[in-house]
Structure 1
Amino acid sequence: MRSALVRHPVTAAITFLVVATAVFGIVVRVLHGADPASYGPFRIFAASTGAVALLATIAGVVVLVGAAERLMGSWRTALAFVVTTVVGTAAGALTAFVDADGRDLTSLLLGRATAFDPWTAIVGTIVTASAFAGPLWRRRIRVNALAVVAALLLYAGHASDLYAVLAAGVGWVLGELLRRTPKRGGWVRSSHRETRVLLGTVVLVSAIGPVVALVSRARVGLLAPIAAVLGTGPVTPVSGCGTDGASAECLRALLAYRATDPWTLLLAVAPLLVLVVGGLGLFRGSRFAVWLVVAVDLVTAVAAAVTYGVLPARAGGLQGTADEFVTALSVGASIVVPLATAAVLVLRRRSFTVLPSRRRVVAFAVTVVAAAAVVVGTVAAFAASAPQHVEDPLRLAVAALGPLSPLTFWEQLPSLGTALRIVVGLAGPVLWFVVALAAVRPTGAVEPDTDADGSRTDRERARALVTAGGGDTFGWMTTWRGNAYWFAADGRAGVAFRRSGGVAVTVGGPFGYPDARDAAMTDFARYCDDNGWTTVFYGVDARNAELLTTLGWSTLPVAEDADLDPRTWTTTGKRKQDVRTAVNRARREGITATWSSWQDLPPSTARQIEAISEEWVSERELPEMGFTLGGVDEMRDPAVRTLVAQDAAGRVLAVTSWLPSHREGRVVGWTLDVMRRTEAAPNGVMEFLVASAAERMRDDGVERLSLSAAPLAQAGEAAAPNDGVQSLLELVGGVLEPVYGFRSLLRFKQKFGPDLHPLVLAYPDPVALPSIGLAVVRAYLPDLSLRQAVALARGRG
């Protein structure tokens, strides 16, 4: 406890003040009946709305302010706590000038200036501290904080919510001013994994917002109309809402409506549960979840438009009201915000690569259609047997949508029988609950689809073949997701490939038993020809290239494979002087190298590796590359090993990953894949990691250590381009060099004195060279947009 107090004095002081102020408030209220919120600046520490609020505030101070103090130190934390509160509250209080309405401006201004709560300061402090975090946590802190406070402001609209938003904005600016490290302007790229986390968070917050607004005592937020639409179903009478349009009285009644019973919350939660399922699916990268959330957002926007008379035929009901501008802004936001969320998801859909199996999509469609038929049939049956005549069955069917039904049917419902009104009221929530439950499997919200692309069986078969018989430099990469597979008739060899249009680009040569690979090459080429595809063997070694050359194929170099025998590894000799210096320096500074699978890493180490990888991605101007280049997802394979460099305090400085090479069912070598390091890592840390790997493999008796092949990079001078595909690959390699450093990576590998083996691209038909070049580029950059492709070409122009 003493150690924690010494390390986090500001957090400890604020926690003490929160507890002391709460006790003081209880005493004042019991003895004098006064409201402790009136005691001036101490209101910043007063969580006086109940025991739950007090406990939540204490937890917020300990966790969030404590994290901020660890990130930026004590004096910056104290400064941020005060400045963000004062500036954010002062700016928020100035809204009194806009909303005076004849009231005494001085008292209104002072009243608003003391309407904050401790969370204003907490939010401002943690957002300030985000500037001192790495790209991963900087983005997560800011997105999560802004999403939560913005949702509270837009749905509930309390003065304290406005101050929290402003404090977050002040904290953002203050953090950038306090951080003295170099700052990068413009758009910072996110990895696909991080994009999924951020958008999933936004969707989950948007699902919770309407519920928060419905239970709020005062609801004046711009998006409060959405909450009202969701929470007041067809059986809920609302004053002023009728078939002639949404009047000002109707809007005020909706905004003043508060959920006081489980029935109303049931109406609101039903459609929002679909968003929760969709948000969880977004975390897992589900493309189905993208379209599910887009559909719900579109329905919400249309429902708000119809309900509030935005359609031309009903827009006149809102004209001439006292708050016409505010009304229009509120209704407009209720429509634009869901549409904007849907648009962002559509634009970023390429980050969601997990496609559901056809079986799960069909099951979802059948379930929803059957449920809709049952709901409509039930409503129709009750309507036909009702004592009162239903004049407009079509509007009754629309009203069965429940919480998203337009207002045009509400005034007729009181005249219907009790049983029919109950059925109509239950129809919508039941249908939405069915949609939510049916969407759980195709979105992978609870149980991810392990065979989303229909290739799990083939991938497991390929994995077994690679383990039993082995492969070439790219052997283990053939087991990665995204590959298609072909297997020989006898099942003893196979080929992994990726098809772009009419070109099939292999991931190296055949894998499997050595005596079956040569025949597999010619059989696979014949298979592609039968399907009308052009075969391209990418990254094959000299022996395979010679075989294809005898068959009349053409080849051109694309990479250099660097390997060595770790059993004879040593750091002696002038050539390895840099490696020797790096190893000695790392050992003097107490840096250690830990060899482990991802599953055996401590959670804190794994999180640091994810943050390092995200920082690496954010520094690139082009999308993440794939094909023969792995990332964090590939590191999670239980067969893959990570080698992590950590300092004496346990901070991760750099990480490498190693892919296994097999022969006759046992590991005989390891191939380097991922290389990541922090900006704070000392020079030579990567040399230290590779040397440590070589030492471990020497002790384990491993036969081969491969430093892998740097794609589109060669050790010597490249031959003069003699055809279109070589020209294109030279162009791509030259443009990607400043971004990914393939050629500098090859020079790094030469420090270890490896043997270099050329890898070539083999193709059968020179006529197909343009499409071959584009297929190789598309394999490495599947998310390359047209704009980025043009920029890439101009980079060499």
Structure 2
Amino acid sequence: MSRSGGPGMLLDYEDSLYLDRKAWGLNHETNPTCAFDLRPSSDIDLVRRYGGPVSHAALNPSHRTFRTPGIDGLVGFLLTHRCAVVLGDPMCPPAQRDELTAAFVKYCADNNWSVIYAVATGNMRNFVNKSGGGMLEFADLLIANPQHNLEAGSKGRHLRWNLNHTRRQGVTVREYQGSGSPDNELEAQAMAALASWRAGRKGFQMYLGSPRLFANRSGCRWFVAEYAGSVVGVLYMMQINCVGSRYLIDLVFSTPGAPRQTNELMVVSAFQALREEGEEAVCLGVGPKALLGEIQGFGALSSALARRFYKLSNKMVPQHGKTRFWEKFGIVHREPLYLIFQQPRVGIPEFHALLKTFNFSISDLFR
């Protein structure tokens, strides 16, 4: 475990599993003024309470977490090329967001690290304005209403026809109650399906991390597609508190051999379950834009280069296809998402840090 000399503390996730809270004077029974808890479960609680569509990356052992006394909050980040890349906004009460951000920025400055916020919301605009930094609008947070029955009426005819064809082929979807007593055989099949899906992807790839389907079960739900006696797809959903949504659909995948429309059948099944529970909003995650939107803080030349580079990268890795997939399910609300830089420039360290964060590799071209 590493510690800072300033007001903040930096914890590697695995180290925090073994933290002696009493040695730090952080036992609530003996120190009632303590404003936060360093047990791993508190990380999960903060993600569920204040996290956005990618904040659960803070639970990944490869990421670090930052806390500061007096704030019940957490900043999860990946340190690479002397850049601290934060996925999502700081997770804390909104009234303390600026204070936690300032403490984290100071900690990074003391270590000579630059700060990048990836997939940040407009709530981080204060940081940009105070630091003189730059921000690029590259995606939207997508919200749908599961109360809308997507198969109903004339508008749902095409989707209904496709899903009925998939059902007739023998695909079934059920919710797996994996938060109780685990079904080891089903989970092994799900992990094998995940490996098959990942191996079947070709060309350039960009993703924020390897899926961890059963690593953090608290607040998670799984909808499993089965075909010919085997698991061929999984929809992974987790509990959050984001733009009026209590759930985030974090991942939907099916194997290369699964019948067409298997992913759509899992989504409709999850929507049906949420509809029956009375949920009126579900977060569909990050929807990348086809072109960059708002740019703040960068000069005219830098802005033009950023737009051209993003357009080119979207041709190489068509991330906007994810947005088009979700648009089938009736997007009712969008919130802009940004890449935010502490300084309005993207040098070689920042560029390499982003490639590392999004797991982008030229070698993928030759897969």
How does the TM-score come out when normalised to structure 2?
Answer: 0.76
Distance 2:204 2:184 in 1: 27
Matched, 1:770 2:331: no
Q: In the alignment, which residue of structure 1 is the partner of 2:127?
A: 548
The letter for the 1-side match of 2:326 is: K
Distance 2:94 2:302 in 1: 34
The letter for the 2-side match of 1:743 is: H
Of 98, 108, 114, the match for 1:528:
108
Matches within 5 A, 1:695-706: 695-706=272-283
Distance 1:505 1:725 in 2: 19
Matched, 1:464 2:45: yes
Q: In the alignment, which residue of structure 2 is the partner of 1:316?
A: none
The letter for the 1-side match of 2:342 is: P
Number of residue pairs aligned between Structure 1 and Structure 2: 327
The letter for the 2-side match of 1:479 is: L
Distance 2:80 2:306 in 1: 15
Matched, 1:707 2:268: no
Q: In the alignment, which residue of structure 2 is the partner of 1:156?
A: none
Counterpart secondary structure, 2:100: helix
Please tell me whether the aligned partners of residues 291 and 307 of structure 2 are also in contact (alpha carbons under 8 angstroms): no
Distance 2:125 2:164 in 1: 44
1:168-211, Cα deviation, whole Å (9 max, x unpaired):
xxxxxxxxxxxxxxxxxxxxxxxxxxxxxxxxxxxxxxxxxxxx
Task: Check 1:452–1:708 CA distance in 2 against 1; reply closer, same or farther (3 A cut).
Answer: closer
Q: Structure 1 residue 757: deviation in Å?
A: 2.3
Task: Check 1:585–1:717 CA distance in 2 against 1; reply closer, same or farther (3 A cut).
Answer: farther
Q: In the alignment, which residue of structure 2 is the partner of 1:481?
A: 61
The letter for the 2-side match of 1:518 is: D
Of 184, 193, 198, the match for 1:612:
193
Give the stretch that moved more between structures: 680-689 or 716-725.
716-725
Instruction: Kindly report the root-mean-square deviation, in angstroms, between the aligned alpha carbons of the 2 structures.
Output: 3.4
Distance 1:756 1:622 in 2: 29
1:262-293, Cα deviation, whole Å (9 max, x unpaired):
xxxxxxxxxxxxxxxxxxxxxxxxxxxxxxxx
Q: Structure 1 residue 498: deviation in Å?
A: 0.7
Of 650, 657, 666, the match for 2:229:
650
Q: In the alignment, which residue of structure 2 is the partner of 1:454?
A: 15
Q: In the alignment, which residue of structure 1 is the partner of 2:257?
A: 680
Matches within 5 A, 1:386-401: none
Q: In the alignment, which residue of structure 1 is the partner of 2:72?
A: 492
Matches within 5 A, 1:498-513: 498-513=78-93
Task: Check 1:619–1:777 CA distance in 2 against 1; reply closer, same or farther (3 A cut).
Answer: same
Please tell me whether the aligned partners of residues 540 and 761 of structure 1 are also in contact (alpha carbons under 8 angstroms): yes
The letter for the 2-side match of 1:788 is: S
The letter for the 1-side match of 2:214 is: M
Q: In the alignment, which residue of structure 2 is the partner of 1:562?
A: 142
Decide which structure has greater strand share: 2
Structure 2 unmatched ranges of 5 or more: 3-11, 20-37, 295-300
1:436-462, Cα deviation, whole Å (9 max, x unpaired):
xxxxxxxxxxxxxxx884243554432
Q: In the alignment, which residue of structure 2 is the partner of 1:671?
A: 248
Matches within 5 A, 1:51-450: none
Matched, 1:593 2:177: no
Distance 2:353 2:69 in 1: 27
Q: Structure 1 residue 702: deviation in Å?
A: 3.1
Q: Structure 1 residue 662: deviation in Å?
A: 4.1
Counterpart secondary structure, 1:562: strand
Of 325, 332, 336, the match for 1:748:
325
Of 491, 509, 515, the match for 2:95:
515
Distance 1:525 1:723 in 2: 28
Q: Structure 1 residue 566: deviation in Å?
A: 2.4
Of 330, 337, 347, the match for 1:759:
337
The letter for the 1-side match of 2:335 is: H
The letter for the 2-side match of 1:635 is: F
Report which of the two structures shows the higher radius of gyration computed on alpha carbons. 1
Q: Structure 1 residue 586: deviation in Å?
A: 4.1
Distance 1:522 1:575 in 2: 49
Distance 1:637 1:680 in 2: 28
Please tell me whether the aligned partners of residues 725 and 769 of structure 1 are also in contact (alpha carbons under 8 angstroms): no
Distance 1:525 1:569 in 2: 45
Counterpart secondary structure, 1:512: coil
1:558-609, Cα deviation, whole Å (9 max, x unpaired):
3222112324555446655443333433444553321124465644432322
Distance 1:762 1:570 in 2: 36
Distance 2:292 2:206 in 1: 25
Please tell me whether the aligned partners of residues 556 and 760 of structure 1 are also in contact (alpha carbons under 8 angstroms): yes
Distance 2:358 2:258 in 1: 28
The letter for the 1-side match of 2:126 is: L
Distance 1:490 1:518 in 2: 13
Distance 2:136 2:340 in 1: 7
Q: Structure 1 residue 724: deviation in Å?
A: 5.9
1:338-391, Cα deviation, whole Å (9 max, x unpaired):
xxxxxxxxxxxxxxxxxxx99xxxxxxxxxxxxxxxxxxxxxxxxxxxxxxxxx
Distance 1:675 1:689 in 2: 8
1:132-187, Cα deviation, whole Å (9 max, x unpaired):
xxxxxxxxxxxxxxxxxxxxxxxxxxxxxxxxxxxxxxxxxxxxxxxxxxxxxxxx
Q: Structure 1 residue 472: deviation in Å?
A: 2.0
Counterpart secondary structure, 1:497: strand
Please tell me whether the aligned partners of residues 166 and 262 of structure 2 are also in contact (alpha carbons under 8 angstroms): yes
State, as a whole percentage, how many aligned pairs show the same letter. Answer: 21
Q: In the alignment, which residue of structure 2 is the partner of 1:120?
A: none
Give the stretch that moved more between structures: 667-676 or 693-702.
667-676
Task: Check 1:508–1:676 CA distance in 2 against 1; reply closer, same or farther (3 A cut).
Answer: same
The letter for the 1-side match of 2:262 is: V
Distance 1:769 1:690 in 2: 40
Task: Check 1:576–1:523 CA distance in 2 against 1; reply closer, same or farther (3 A cut).
Answer: farther
Task: Check 1:504–1:485 CA distance in 2 against 1; reply closer, same or farther (3 A cut).
Answer: same
Task: Check 1:693–1:497 CA distance in 2 against 1; reply closer, same or farther (3 A cut).
Answer: same
How does the TM-score come out when normalised to structure 1?
Answer: 0.37
Distance 1:601 1:623 in 2: 35
Task: Check 1:602–1:586 CA distance in 2 against 1; reply closer, same or farther (3 A cut).
Answer: farther
Matched, 1:691 2:268: yes
Q: Structure 1 residue 525: deviation in Å?
A: 2.1
Task: Check 1:635–1:524 CA distance in 2 against 1; reply closer, same or farther (3 A cut).
Answer: same
